[in-house]
Amino acid sequence: MVVAIIPAYNEATRIGQVVRDARRFTACVVVVDDGSTDGTGDVARREGARVVRHAENSGAGAATMTGIEAARRLGATVVVTLDADGQHDPAEIPLLLKPIQDDTADMVFANRFGQRNSIPFIRRVFNAIGNVLTLFATGTWIQDSQSGFKVFGPKALGQVDLRMRGFEFCTEIVRECAQHKWRVAEIPTKVLYSEYTMAKGQSFAMGIKTALKILLRSFLR
Amino acid sequence: MHLTPYQIVAPAFSLFAILYAWNLVLRQKKTLWEAFFWTLFWGLVTVIALFPRMLTYLSAVTGIANQENAVLITFMGILFFIVFYIIIRLEELEQRHTKIVRLMALREAGLDTNNDMAGTSGTGDLQE
């Protein structure tokens, strides 16, 4: 059973469409409402998603792990994670699922830089820094390590255990790949940046904080 | 070669730390990359302990030539360690707090299991 996980924080205006689209390609959609105050969870529920709600905002990493745990308990064998702001196209889910179905990968990363996409310069810089830090922390190079569009195959789904709360969880997933020796596939995908997604993205200060956390946690391990 | 107690203890501890790190690699709790850096760090500690004259070069580079500077740097090192320790403790508390929030969310969604909360009251369950 393929389950889509959508961590969401104050995405009431976008989540409905994302859930509707994701339901066309997965058996079940789990929205983790990360302490939203704008009724994100209610909108998602109305659209047919299973909603798990954090009592307070805990970060994208915590929300993703909650979603993974919920998916396991629902009997999922494969999990797809998507951003709630609509920057990923759920129609590409089958494309990402293919390496899992062919049994050539345990973990699939969407790669926003693998095809022509209109990506703002600042986003490219942030992603490049994220990739280099991830390489430094894990020894593994992933072309788009910070993408929220991923697929966990049965092996990865059974073993993944994320501890980081914030956006640094993207690097932690790469670390898990190296640690558990998961086979990795990277699939070029579309991405839709808008003023809305840019405004919702990470700020420079948040990027610095994320980088420091990655380095700190790498040292502590 | 006459060895001081420090020159025996530091390399011995370093060896223990390096063996521990590679043991974690074998148990798949640490990546090869991390073990490599860990080995590099403790290897450096050993080299400096066994060949303290290397520090003469560092002294020339950093300008830490007299005792007052050395004391200042030492205390800065101690303060750095204390801050580092506090950050670690905060991280652990943050993780424990997050774990509780997540388990509460699953419970409210009707996806809990009976032994979910076991392990959240101990002191070391979230440590690596």
Query: Do B81 and B30 fall into the same domain?
Result: no
Give CA A107 to chain center in angstroms. Answer: 12
Sheet holding A2-8, edge to edge: A50-53, A28-33, A2-8, A78-81, A150-152, A107-111, A184-188
Cβ-Cβ contacts under 8 Å between A and B: the total is 70
pLDDT-derived band at B128, boundaries 50, 70, 90:
very low
User: Is there a domain that residue B85 lies in?
Assistant: yes
Asked whether residue B64 carries a pLDDT value surpassing 60, the answer given is yes
CA quadruple B87, B92, B98, B104: dihedral sign:
negative
Cβ-based contacts of A54 with chain B (< 8 Å): 101-102, 105
Query: Do B81 and B26 fall into the same domain?
Result: no
Q: What is the CATH number of the domain that holds A98?
A: 3.90.550.10
What is residue A52's three-state secondary structure? strand
A 142-201 residues with CB below 8 A of B?
163, 165, 175, 178-180
Query: Do B44 and B82 fall into the same domain?
Result: no
Sequential pLDDT tens for chain A (221 residues): 999 999 999 999 999 999 999 999 999 999 999 999 999 999 999 999 999 999 999 999 999 999 999 999 999 999 999 999 888 999 999 999 999 999 999 999 998 887 777 777 777 888 888 888 888 777 788 888 888 899 999 999 999 998 888 888 888 899 889 888 899 999 999 877 766 666 665 555 666 677 677 666 665 55
Give the closest of B31, B87, B109 to A179, CB-based. B31
User: Is there a domain that residue B101 lies in?
Assistant: yes
Cβ-based contacts of A216 with chain B (< 8 Å): 87, 91
Give the closest of B29, B31, B126 to A178, CB-based. B31
Helix/strand/coil percentages in chain B, nearest 5:
70, 0, 30
Residue A33 belongs to domain spanning = 2-220
User: Is there a domain that residue B44 lies in?
Assistant: yes
Query: Do B47 and B104 fall into the same domain?
Result: no
What is the complex's ipTM, to 2 decimals? 0.81
pLDDT-derived band at B123, boundaries 50, 70, 90:
very low
Per-residue model confidence (pLDDT) at position A131: 82
Whether chain B has a CB inside 8 Å of the CB on A116: the answer is no
Give CA B106 to chain center in angstroms. Answer: 33
Closest-CA residue of chain B to A30: B109
Q: Name the domain count of chain B.
A: 2
User: Is there a domain that residue B20 lies in?
Assistant: yes
Query: Do B99 and B44 fall into the same domain?
Result: no
Query: Do B4 and B43 fall into the same domain?
Result: yes
Binary contact (B106, A65; C-beta < 8 A): no
Per-residue model confidence (pLDDT) at position A167: 83
Binary contact (B105, A218; C-beta < 8 A): no
Give the closest of B31, B34, B105 to A52, CB-based. B105
Paired strand residues for A8 = A33
Binary contact (A69, B128; C-beta < 8 A): no
Query: Do B43 and B83 fall into the same domain?
Result: no
Query: Do B80 and B33 fall into the same domain?
Result: no
Helix (H) or strand (E) holding B58: helix B54-62
Residue B44 belongs to domain spanning = 1-52
Give CA A220 to chain center in angstroms. Answer: 24
| Interval B4-33 mean pLDDT | 80
User: Is there a domain that residue B62 lies in?
Assistant: no
Binary contact (B88, A138; C-beta < 8 A): no
Residue B76 burial class via C-beta count within 10 angstroms: exposed 0-12, middle 13-18, buried 19 and up:
exposed
Q: Name the domain count of chain A.
A: 1
Nearest to A99 by CA among A186, A169, A170: A186
| Interval B29-37 mean pLDDT | 73
Per-residue model confidence (pLDDT) at position B126: 32
